[in-house]
């Protein structure tokens, strides 16, 4: 697994951007595939998720991930759920210690957030659709509703498809530049001059920087180019393959993390999912 230096500095929080190594799945899903929706054997996925949770010091039942739809929807978590009960969301936030919240990716951007002073963490799945729709801003807003302060939030942008691997058409370029002329910075013409290479992590990073967080760190890893360590939807598609695994990125508050109890002994109350 990989960690972000800025999040490593945060007390009371554990996190990881897991690679594909160390699991029990086989073939296209080898080996730490954590996505129930991948087509892999559910029992193997369950075993992989338990292994990942163990690396965070938790039981496998303490890991919560959502049914991701490339949206700006965010769910508040106070406990894990069965796979069939997962909410449709691309962001998760919690102020409950001992519950790992995670996102699943195979080229999209995983972003983990923490406000150690407030005792609030978040996780966002940011593909281009979700990022453009506002999932990053929505996740931060949901954290502030649990007591976080924007200026205290640290964010880590995990492994995702790199610009050199992300070829897009002219219509994609036009849409983003129409949104904001400054988005031109994230496009480079390919060798043909007819298409572009898109910097997805750079786009995500700038949107996060606009929120004036305490720190934003980008891990310089290309999931598509690094087959040994990461799953990749685009790599599979180029080969005409329909099966591919999903990597997990997760964050958890340690027991006792967060602000001290207020008058009457009540701390930050858990919020319903």
Residue 74 φ/ψ, nearest 5 degrees: -125, 135
pLDDT of res. 55: 97
Q: Is the predicted pLDDT of residue 208 greater than 70, yes or no?
A: yes
pLDDT interval class at 259 (50, 70, 90): low
Q: Which CATH class is domain 5-162+199-254?
A: alpha beta
The alpha carbon of residue 213 and the mean position of all alpha carbons in its chain are separated, in whole angstroms, by 17
pLDDT of res. 270: 30
pLDDT of res. 46: 98
Of the listed ranges 24-33, 171-180, 199-208, 249-258, the least confidently predicted one is 249-258
pLDDT of res. 202: 98
Q: Name the residue among 71, 73, 245, 248 with its Cα closest to residue 159.
A: 248
Number of helices (H), then strands (E), belonging to the chain: the values are 7, 13
pLDDT of res. 65: 98
Q: Is the predicted pLDDT of residue 268 greater than 90, yes or no?
A: no
Q: Name the residue among 251, 197, 237, 1 with its Cα closest to residue 106.
A: 237
pLDDT of res. 214: 98
Whether the bond into 31 is cis, omega within 30 of 0: yes
pLDDT of res. 67: 98
Q: Which helix (H) or strand (E) holds 234?
A: helix 233-238
Cα separation, 148 vs 210, whole angstroms: 17
Q: Would strands 13-17 and 247-253 be described as parallel, antiparallel, or unpaired?
A: antiparallel
Q: Name the residue among 74, 113, 79 with its Cα closest to residue 90.
A: 74
* Burial group, residue 27, by CB count within 10 angstroms (0-12, 13-18, 19+): exposed
pTM (global) more than 0.85: yes
pLDDT of res. 257: 63
pLDDT of res. 255: 83
Q: Yes or no: say if 211 and 138 are a contact pair by the CB < 8 Å rule.
A: no
Of the listed ranges 86-95, 153-162, 163-172, 249-258, the least confidently predicted one is 249-258
Sign of CA dihedral 131, 137, 140, 142: negative
pLDDT of res. 192: 93
pLDDT of res. 256: 66
Q: What is the pLDDT of residues 98-111, one digit of tens each?
A: 999 999 999 999 99
Q: Is the predicted pLDDT of residue 261 greater than 70, yes or no?
A: no
Q: What is the pLDDT of residues 150-177, one digit of tens each?
A: 999 999 999 999 999 999 999 999 999 9
Q: Tokens for 69?
A: 């739809």
């Amino acid at each position: 697994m990989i960690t972000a230096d800025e999040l490593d500095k945060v007390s009371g929080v554990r996190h990881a951007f897991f690679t594909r190594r160390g699991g029990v799945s086989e073939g296209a899903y080898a080996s730490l595939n954590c996505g129930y929706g991948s087509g892999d054997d559910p029992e193997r996925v369950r075993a992989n998720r338990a292994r990942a949770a163990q690396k965070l010091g938790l039981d496998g039942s303490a890991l919560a991930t959502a049914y991701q739809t490339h949206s700006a929807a965010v769910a508040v978590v106070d406990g894990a759920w069965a796979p069939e009960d997962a909410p449709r969301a691309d962001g998760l936030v919690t102020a409950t210690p001992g519950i790992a919240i995670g996102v699943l990716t195979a080229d999209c951007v995983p972003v983990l957030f923490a406000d150690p002073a407030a005792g609030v963490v978040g996780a966002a799945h940011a593909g281009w659709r979700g990022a453009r729709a506002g999932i990053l801003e929505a996740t931060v807003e949901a954290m502030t509703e649990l007591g976080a302060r924007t200026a205290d939030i640290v964010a880590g942008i995990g492994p995702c498809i790199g610009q050199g691997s992300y070829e897009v058409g002219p219509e994609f370029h036009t849409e983003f530049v129409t949104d904001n002329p400054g988005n031109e910075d994230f496009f480079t013409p390919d060798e043909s001059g007819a298409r572009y290479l898109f910097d997805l992590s750079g786009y995500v990073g700038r949107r996060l920087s606009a929120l004036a967080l305490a720190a934003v760190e980008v891990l310089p890893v290309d999931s598509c180019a690094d087959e040994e360590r990461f799953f990749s939807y685009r790599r599979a598609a180029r080969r005409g393959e329909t099966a591919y695994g999903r990597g997990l990125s997760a964050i958890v508050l340690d027991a006792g993390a967060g602000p001290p109890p207020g008058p009457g002994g009540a701390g930050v109350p858990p919020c319903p999912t």
